[in-house]
Structure 1
Amino acid sequence: MPSKELVYNWYVALVAAACMILMGYDASVFNSVQVSPNWKAHFDNPNAYMVGLINTTYTVGGIVTGWFASGPITDYLGRRWGMAIGCILTIIGTFIQTFTPWHQMGVFIFGRVLVGAGQALAITAGPIYIGEITESEIRGKVMSFWQMFYSVGSFIAYWINYGAARNRDTLGEWDWKMVVIFQLMMPLVILAQLPFIPESPRWLISRRKDVEAARQALTRVRHDPQTVEDELQTIREAIEYEREAQSEGWRAYLSLFRDASIRKRLYLAFFINVGQQLSGQGTLNSYSSTIYAKVYNDADTINLINALNATCGILFTLNAVWTVDRYGRRFLFLVGACGMALCTMIIPVIGLTTPGTTDKSKPVGIAITFMAFLFAFFYKPTWGATTWTYTSEIFPLNVRAPAVGMSVQMQGVANTIFQQFFPLFYQNEGLKTFFFFMATNICLATIAYFVLPETKQIALEEMDTLFGGVSHVEKGAAIIQEDTNVAETIGEEANNNRAVPMQDMARGDDKRV
């Protein structure tokens, strides 16, 4: 029977993980609405270039915010405020998109930029909070739900779109507005719960220097009082070294590139986040409707396939819950990359070796759809879930917020560059584009095998030694001990100084007697 503290730990972590629903929903929203005739008419039938631009502006909003704002906001205001501000911006952007005036594409794009900025804040603060509030033994399991909630967001968006599209004649323009405005749901749910969850104990000690508040926060999520004290001591020791050796605030951010160990981690995080998007998942998620249109002529069938894919994505991601802390992060990276390479090879082989160009037979369509589902089976628990787990746990506390913010937005950088030209790439080459993803996944598997260290069940404060740096805990403990010795020495000298006049006074009294 799990303790009430463990249950509560899961609850607060899942509240933070729900931030990923925002990203999953929005990534699927545009994929859904862009095939709506009413959406096309409302925005004057945008061409392939404009469709790519709409995706680009969303990611640019996220990149700018993730690189330059998410770190400072999450560091100075706290992890909860980072999530809260992200949710608020998402709500504002959703209203703007839903009620964009006729043919005013610029207004719609501005809403997309705000949503991108809001999600950049939420997806920076969320995984950091999960990593800092959970025990190392369950950190991987909890972070698996982070990616699963991306699938939950897609699930909600696609099924709402499916229902709205089936009733397009009745709803009119609300066939796409209904899909967009439901994006309000999860930010409101998260905002309602944030006041009732504790702030990160690591942030409380680092920024507020409030050990007692950190103790109270840990006591709510740890059932053993001794575990609380041990963790507090470890956190304090690591923070003490980081203050002494690496400074705080903006000066600490310089160590992202100045400290060899942190720089190595930053580049590895950049690699796995870019690799996540170049694996093919971003393209399948954003342009699956366009790809399926080469096989299926019925829009309702395409919407149903997308909805079923999102549903299966939830189940596929659950595989990470029981594998990530059992087999490790590196194992999942390898299996996922190899599986995705196989799928992205078979999809174009099926499409290119069967009769027809724009109107394939039903068995061919089923085969391609099955391989797209199999791709999701390999991607979701590996490069989907594990990338976020790995990114959020490898950095030291004093640079964790900016490092995670910058790293996860490398997904946006990859998407901005690639998806801007992918519609034209696919228009010219068709299914041959999947051979590019096959080659990319082979490279991902190779680099993961030779370069990535395993981080399974390693405490956050011990990551530095794993990546070739000094132990912040040991160095911090030495600094604290030295400060304690100095304080004791000063105290003894002060006592001795007070004792000398007393002895003189005693001798004086003797003379008077």
Structure 2
Amino acid sequence: MAVGLFRSKRAYNWYISTVAAACMVLYGYDASVFNSVQGSANWVAWFNHPNQSLIGGINTAYTVGAIFGGFFLGGPVADFLGRKVGMGMGCVLVIAATFMQAFAPYHNIACFIAGRCIIGVGQGIALTAGPIYIGELAPPHIRGKIMTLWQTFYSVGSFICFWVNYGCTEHAARLGNWDWRMVIVFQLLVPCIILVLLPTLPGTPRWYIQRQNNVEKARSALQRVRETEEEVEEELNQIRGALEYEKEAISSSYSALWKDRSVRKRFLLALVLNAGQQLTGQGSLNSYSTIIYKKVFTSASQISLINALNATFGILFTLNAIWIVDRFGRTFLLEVGGIGMCICMIIIAAVETETPTLPNGAKTESVGIALVFLLFLFILFYKPSWGATVWIWTSEVFSMNVRAQAVGMASQTQNVANTIFNQFFPIFLDNDGFYAFYFFAGINLLLAAFVFFFVPETKHVPLEEIDVLFGGSNHHTQGENMLVETKLGLRPDNDETVATEATKPVASAHIEDSKV
């Protein structure tokens, strides 16, 4: 058993979370790969010099695939087949689509676009299952720290892609068409590693009970990640109680997303936060930083190096969330991040638009350095806040009956926002230049205000008790009462697991508590 290789349960928790968070490497790499290959003259020639509208369409193909995967496939796959199966299925689709992109026939942009669409479907499925898996197995007191890995690995994906691209750009004359193919082929690395390591991970106890009514498998999974038997039994009881209440008093189907007022409220909040994450300006920077920097610099190698350094610092900046997200809380980070990004965008727009442009279309070296510094400063504010914290908040606020579908749909509003905005951003940038950054400044200020007035704090709250923050009942307590009533014969026994020998000690303990 893989847990035997680790000296402590906490180390094993970090290991399984790291494997699950590696799904985000797929997203980070792919968000950067098309950005990278756009700078290759060989790629442009191979696909017959696509215009800006077609470039936007290629990005849209990916996001449409991701939206379809996240909205319609991610939740059902994670719920009915399991979180691990969801991650594995997403990796398989990414591998297949990578080959389609890397070896698309000459001038056959349709094959490349189809690969982008399929890779989006795969990521939509994997990015639904991954954060749910981490959220359901991580102990509450370190859940925020562990979930920080999720956004960190996005930066790791960008880091790998941009440095590979930089190396290929430096040797483009010798590599020929492999200068862009190599960048795409490297996308195979991480999904292959994930598929190899998935069998060493436990399933989630909540899924075992919710879908299989198997308390023993749930107990076995918890024993691999919790320090004591008392913790295991307490969490098992919380899970069973919450599921019993959700099944009896709310709905065991996805209809609770609009029927239950508390769930509906947090779902709408999650939609706004996830869409807002991409409208901060980071979504456009990830997809179009190459063409943005072309307005400042003329050297393709220099632009590749800046992108690579940006991704490198992105990892370090995201890691800041590990020590602050559970100390200061989710809402504090979102508010400070929004205000900081707003100020950065205002200064970036002012510096570029109010300084002279050289005859070759570039800026002076000092202006270029200032803009790169400011864009890096923007990333410093974004990564631990709207980068990492939005994923943390989204993965932990939903009750079990709707968690997979809600996380899948909410997270894919990122791609909905990207699809809408990135389709016309290249035209926006061509027509208005860096004045476009004033738009991002206004959005960031509005997002910070939205969090201040509407978003509750969730740090350290157990998953089964988080409903109370949104005006709902405590699913754990209500479910416990139902289980006790069933045991005492005061209500019908609708859950076969309650009657099993495995659950008798837990039920008995709560009967004693109720007597006291």
Distance 1:114 1:264 in 2: 32
**Equivalent residues in 2 for 1:205-224 (5 A)?**
205-224=209-228
CA contact (8 A) 1:240 1:480 kept: yes
Q: How far has the Cα of 1:65 moved from its partner?
A: 1.3
Q: Counterpart of 2:281 in 1: which secondary structure?
A: helix
Distance 2:365 2:410 in 1: 42
Q: Tell whether 2:151 aligns with 1:150.
A: no
Judged with a 3 Å threshold, the aligned counterparts in structure 2 of structure 1 residues 364 and 217 are, in CA distance, closer, same or farther, namely same
Q: Tell whether 2:235 aligns with 1:264.
A: no
Which residue matches 1:50? 54
Which residue matches 2:389? 386
CA contact (8 A) 1:348 1:431 kept: yes
Distance 1:62 1:56 in 2: 10
Distance 1:277 1:359 in 2: 28
Which residue matches 1:92? 96
CA contact (8 A) 2:274 2:414 kept: yes
Distance 1:396 1:488 in 2: 24
Q: Could you list the per-position Cα deviations for residues 115-160 of structure 1 after superposition, in whole angstroms to 9, with x for gaps in the alignment?
A: 0000011110000000000110000000101100000000000000
CA contact (8 A) 2:486 2:492 kept: no
Normalised to the residue count of structure 2, the TM-score between the two structures is 0.93
Which residue matches 1:421? 424
Distance 1:432 1:309 in 2: 22
CA contact (8 A) 1:86 1:119 kept: yes
Q: Tell whether 2:445 aligns with 1:460.
A: no
Q: Counterpart of 1:326 in 2: which secondary structure?
A: helix
**Equivalent residues in 2 for 1:21-420 (5 A)?**
21-248=25-252, 252-356=253-357, 358-420=361-423
Distance 1:273 1:68 in 2: 17
CA contact (8 A) 1:3 1:223 kept: no
Distance 1:453 1:15 in 2: 30
Which residue matches 2:499? none
CA contact (8 A) 1:161 1:179 kept: yes
Q: Could you list the per-position Cα deviations for residues 84-114 of structure 1 after superposition, in whole angstroms to 9, with x for gaps in the alignment?
A: 0000000000010000000111100000011
Structure 1 window deviating more from structure 2 (354-363 vs 126-135): it is 354-363
Normalised to the residue count of structure 1, the TM-score between the two structures is 0.94
Q: CA RMSD in A?
A: 1.2
Distance 2:401 2:261 in 1: 15
CA contact (8 A) 1:453 1:466 kept: yes
Which residue matches 1:438? 441
Which residue matches 1:511? none
Q: How far has the Cα of 1:417 moved from its partner?
A: 0.3
Distance 2:492 2:427 in 1: 73
Q: Number of residues paired by the alignment?
A: 486
Judged with a 3 Å threshold, the aligned counterparts in structure 2 of structure 1 residues 449 and 172 are, in CA distance, closer, same or farther, namely same
Q: Could you list the per-position Cα deviations for residues 151-210 of structure 1 after superposition, in whole angstroms to 9, with x for gaps in the alignment?
A: 000000000000001111111000000000100000000000101110001111111111
Structure 2 residues without counterparts, runs of 5 or longer: 1-5, 494-516
Q: Counterpart of 2:328 in 1: which secondary structure?
A: coil
Q: Structure 1 vs Structure 2: percent identity of aligned residues? A: 55
Q: Counterpart of 2:363 in 1: which secondary structure?
A: coil
Q: Which amino acid aligns with 2:110?
A: G
Superposition misfits of 4+ residues, deviation over 4 angstroms: 487-490
Distance 2:437 2:153 in 1: 26
Q: How far has the Cα of 1:488 moved from its partner?
A: 11
Q: Could you list the per-position Cα deviations for residues 246-268 of structure 1 after superposition, in whole angstroms to 9, with x for gaps in the alignment?
A: 332xxx11110111100001000
CA contact (8 A) 1:329 1:390 kept: yes
Which residue matches 1:502? none
Structure 1 window deviating more from structure 2 (305-314 vs 351-360): it is 351-360
Distance 1:32 1:13 in 2: 29
Distance 1:6 1:334 in 2: 31
Distance 1:282 1:247 in 2: 36
Q: Counterpart of 1:101 in 2: which secondary structure?
A: coil
Q: Which amino acid aligns with 1:70?
A: G
Distance 2:424 2:251 in 1: 42
Distance 2:384 2:428 in 1: 28
Distance 1:337 1:132 in 2: 28
Which residue matches 2:501? none
Structure 1 window deviating more from structure 2 (476-485 vs 300-309): it is 476-485
Distance 1:47 1:179 in 2: 22
Distance 2:482 2:7 in 1: 36
Which residue matches 1:499? none
Q: Tell whether 2:507 aligns with 1:470.
A: no
Q: How far has the Cα of 1:439 moved from its partner?
A: 0.3
CA contact (8 A) 1:202 1:214 kept: yes
Judged with a 3 Å threshold, the aligned counterparts in structure 2 of structure 1 residues 111 and 489 are, in CA distance, closer, same or farther, namely closer
CA contact (8 A) 2:205 2:219 kept: yes
CA contact (8 A) 2:485 2:491 kept: no
Q: Counterpart of 1:100 in 2: which secondary structure?
A: coil
Distance 1:297 1:479 in 2: 68
CA contact (8 A) 1:205 1:211 kept: yes
